[in-house]
Structure 1
Amino acid sequence: MNTVQGLRERKKIATREALHEAALKLAMEHGFDRLTVEAIADAATVSRRTFSNYFASKEEALLYGDGARMAAMLEAVRARPAAESPWTALTASMRTLFPERGPDEDWVARARFIRSHPSLLVQQLATFSSFEKELAAELAARLPEEQRSATRPRLIAGCFFTAIRVATVAWLDQPQGTSLQDIAERALAEAAGPFA
């Protein structure tokens, strides 16, 4: 039974990835405004109904990679030693947000593409916001009792995501001389303040 469930789960992951990749490819080739759910489903060789089982919109399909990276980062934070401070655990887990060998040309092109479409930015911010809540809950458990409040874990999570967003935008805006990880680490160090 576990083998069957494992196979089904792998198939679901593969289908989700295929839809995401098809959405990205079509959007980059033909533009976001011309992208349709039908075209994504056709390119991934699935039905429109299958698309709807995985994503609610073309925006969600396009931004699936962001959510996957956020989920991996959240898991990396959870795997850090329980005694680590929230900010230390976040900083150590930051690299899971970016491609292992640093962003390649496709990643950069996709990031710039998303940045150039307001509806995608809104959806991206909604994705980050939902993970910010999950991350805040994880960080709350790492805070000493005397530092716990309704706002502190959310403030830490919000500052972390803001620092990452600012670092990414700064890196995309400059000639590629410095690595994104280096800029992100610098931004996190500058934002650490009372959280370090």
Structure 2
Amino acid sequence: MTSATPSQPIGLRERKRLETRAALEQAAVKIVLRDGFDQATVDAMCAEANVSPRTFFNYFESKEDAILGVFDEKLDEASITECVAASSTDDILESIMDVLFKLLGPSVSGVSLQKSRIEIIKQNPHLLGRHIAQMTRMSEQLLVAIRMLVSQDPRFSHESTDEQSATAEMLLAIGGGALRVAVREWVASGGERTNIQLRAAELARKVIEQLQ
């Protein structure tokens, strides 16, 4: 494995976006633990996070997505470029997993939030299915991000634009599958495995190496 270079610091716009997202996720988990999944409402989550329902739906499609940390904002090219720049390392698989993790979630920052979310998922296992649906909805944005990473990697510099797009699509398929497996392992471990990105990169690399 090649060593990773330090990620670039995120900009003010990205930092504000992540802070609002985190506040909504924490509020959603808190309300579900307090009121129960069926009784938890978006209005209560917004009141807890001190944001409007309109802001909530700029970040999440439903209360289920907020509980999981499934992020479904329609990102513009500038935001995607910023995310890619902050995730770029010498290891393209780790960079891809970092980008997927940032755009798809779930957020796993904070031991307390991890454990609370795992308890909610165990009581409502249907929630994990939201990630599969989300990847389909965001596939074009994810492909844009991965195409950027591929175009920056000298190993793919000889490829045409169409070939790089095809490479990005295949990497998305492999990376998405690896991320889902890593998330399932994270849930099964009770949150003990905290670096989901590196685990997902490890799983993807193992499959690729076995095929060679």
Range of TM-score over shorter length? 0.5 to 0.7
Tell me whether 1:124 sits opposite 2:124 in the alignment.
Answer: no
**Inter-partner Cα distance in structure 1 for 2:109 and 2:54:** 36
5+ residue gaps, structure 1, are 1-5
Kindly tell me: are residues 158 and 113 of structure 1, through their superposed partners in 2, closer, same or farther at Cα, counting changes over 3 Å? farther
Can you list the C-alpha shifts for 1:17-64, whole angstroms capped at 9, x where unaligned? Answer: 43332111111333211211232233234555664565443223334x
Residue 62 of structure 1 aligns with an amino acid whose one-letter code is I
**Inter-partner Cα distance in structure 2 for 1:42 and 1:33:** 18
**Inter-partner Cα distance in structure 2 for 1:149 and 1:170:** 31
**Inter-partner Cα distance in structure 2 for 1:66 and 1:56:** 9
Kindly tell me: are residues 58 and 110 of structure 1, through their superposed partners in 2, closer, same or farther at Cα, counting changes over 3 Å? same
**Inter-partner Cα distance in structure 1 for 2:182 and 2:189:** 11
What SS does the corresponding residue of 1:110 show, helix, strand or coil? Answer: helix
Alignment-derived partner of residue 104 in structure 1: 111
Select the residue among 52, 62, 65 that pairs with 2:67: 62
Kindly tell me: are residues 154 and 37 of structure 1, through their superposed partners in 2, closer, same or farther at Cα, counting changes over 3 Å? same
TM-score normalised by length of structure 1: 0.62
Residue 46 of structure 2 aligns with an amino acid whose one-letter code is A
What SS does the corresponding residue of 2:71 show, helix, strand or coil? Answer: helix
**Inter-partner Cα distance in structure 1 for 2:28 and 2:83:** 27
Alignment-derived partner of residue 140 in structure 2: 133
Residue 29 of structure 1 aligns with an amino acid whose one-letter code is R
**Inter-partner Cα distance in structure 2 for 1:51 and 1:42:** 10
Can you list the C-alpha shifts for 1:135-193, whole angstroms capped at 9, x where unaligned? Answer: 32343452422981765422211211211221231243247776645643431221334
5+ residue gaps, structure 2, are 1-11, 151-155
Give percent identity, aligned residues only: 26
**Inter-partner Cα distance in structure 1 for 2:63 and 2:141:** 24
What SS does the corresponding residue of 2:24 show, helix, strand or coil? Answer: helix
What SS does the corresponding residue of 1:32 show, helix, strand or coil? Answer: coil
Select the residue among 111, 120, 129 that pairs with 1:113: 120
Select the residue among 154, 161, 167 that pairs with 2:176: 161
Which structure would you say has the larger Rg?
1
Alignment-derived partner of residue 190 in structure 1: 206
Can you list the C-alpha shifts for 1:72-129, whole angstroms capped at 9, x where unaligned? Answer: 9985544537xx6xxx323245357489x98624314314534653553333323333
**Inter-partner Cα distance in structure 1 for 2:169 and 2:85:** 16
How many pairs were matched up? 181
Kindly tell me: are residues 132 and 56 of structure 1, through their superposed partners in 2, closer, same or farther at Cα, counting changes over 3 Å? closer
Alignment-derived partner of residue 92 in structure 2: 89
TM-score normalised by length of structure 2: 0.58
